[in-house]
Chain A
Amino acid sequence: MATGHYISGIGHGALLAWAIIGGLFSRVPDDAIEVAAVSIISSEEFAALSAPQPAPEVEQNIPTPPQPEIEDAPTPPVVEAPPEVTTPPVEDIPPPADVAPDVVEAPPPVPDAVETPPEVAQPPVEDSPVVLAPPATTSSPRPAPRVAPTPVEAPPPDTEVAEQVQEAPTPEADTPTPSEVDEATAPEEATDRIVTEADEPPSSAPTRSSRPSARPKRPEPAIETAATHSTSDAIRDALEEVQQEVAATQTAAPTGPPMTGGEKESLRVAVSSCWNLGSSSTEAMRTTVIVNVSMSREGKPDDISLLSSNGSSNAATQTAFDAARRAIIRCAKGGYKLPTEKYSHWREIEMTFNPEKMRIK
């Protein structure tokens, strides 16, 4: 009982000491009072200040930009009134029924001796495409035979189409005439979306487009069941498997610094420039394929295989894979510019070709 009094007394004493020493009852300093200078003005001055601002004067001399002439309808070539065709009465000459051609499969070619021609030297693949002109954001897009991520103005006439831009040399009086004349080059004209005839007047342009679908899920690995194994066996098997994986991983693990974002982007841009979906079926344009590319040290693809696809048919999957494979091979003519010291990082590349953005252009 006394012990309780002692404990209570000590506790209360400590609390009082903290309250006094800790500043519980000390005065809270007042916040600084902000002082603002004021001045007294007359009612005339106040009226002048609160009066509405006069409207800016309209400059009458600014010329109105000329409006482009919008024709009501594109005029197709005028067809002259056709002459009366003097064909005898139809009943007298029924159209002959065509003989349906017989279709027989021909055997594939048997190459007698496959010659390996010398490799044609190709210009190196550029890391990123050179943009000639800023994208036309203010004017309506013009139709162009090529649809690319970056719109490109039509090159001047007599200009050779090339990836790099090169100005034609200006002849100077003192400069001796070179033996070979350099010609101006420019990238092929491109637009960043499909422009239809109906787009020509802005009022009738399509107003809706398809929503991009979700990214396809990777196929989940099949789960094997081993009902006959005991728990300890399963654990032992798992451990062995893990050990094997560790061993394999240690031998295949890439060494050195990883690929930088810029290096990856450079590869992505290089492959993108050759990924042509212009001849793909509409179904293939909805198909995402994931391909594995085994690369040589020279930056060329050794082997390209299909890993997975969300295609709704084999034909669509095959078409999408063919387009991806063509892109990888075409743009690797001189070998992709990849850092050789990081070969272990890009020896195997998994490329996902997703046409979602292309479909809605």
Chain B
Amino acid sequence: MENEQLLEVKKLQTYFTLRKWGFLRVGEVKAVDGVDFDLRRGEAVSVVGESGCGKSTLAKTILALEQPTGGQVYFNGKAIDITDKEHLEWYRSQVGYVQQDPYGALPPFMTVRRILEEPMVINGIKDHKERERRIYQVLEDLKMTPVKEFINKFPHMLSGGQQQRVVIARSKILEPSLLVADEPVSMLDPSVRVEILELLRKLQLDYNLGVIYITHDLSTVRYFSERIFVMYGGKLIEKGEVEDILANPSHPYTRALLEAISDPDPENVNTFKKVPPGEPPSLASPPPGCRFHPRCPDFIEGKCEKEVPPEYELGGEHKVSCWLYEKEG
């Protein structure tokens, strides 16, 4: 029954209907449009993209918080059925969700103990001692020691980094095999970010967790995951192992992203960055063909604006959706 693939996502689509006056359908927002990938047991992948590219919707669809309009998510080889209540309950206990804004994600009137107990109560862990044991275990894993000092505090008494640890603890308390972390550190100070990411990494390795790490910050990705998926306009346009993508970015958009990141180097003062013009496409009316073509520096006329590029393999895990690689593919 143990499966090598923890999660398989096949041709996933999540569209939202746009309505006028509450009932007239006037179009769709194609937030996730044909996403394919799989995740091995114990593997961490990063989904990188700008805001509005659909990465949070992808996370929510995987978490079964949104109903996909097409495609399927398989977990441990089983298709996720959002309409089957019992099945959904089981699935939710297997998947943890780390929210972006820790303060918004924690109920202000509950103590840390109550917050961590709640998922266990809902999932029928009745033994009080077992619940207590798990709370202590998970808080120790997250280096919130001495646990006694934190366990009776309310969220507002904790710093941002500590709040985020409670959020992670809560996602971990049911001992899931998959964590979905949606921008887990973007609200935190840079000096705390690294610490939280290292804790997440350690949890992942210690408990052989699969992690989907959603972020817009490419520079932290290398420290955190095995593979990168680059998302643009609702599609994954490049996938590959971290080192492959950082050393050899193949999609023009990935190149632009890497170029745009600053390294802390005082020499930067004298150079300008090459930034593609324009804005990310509206997902309600995405451009035809490749979604990046209006901004692309390597635009091939008569091709890119007509057809959506298929995925070409560049060797190993490295795949790219771009017409530039047609011959090689």
A and B: partners? no
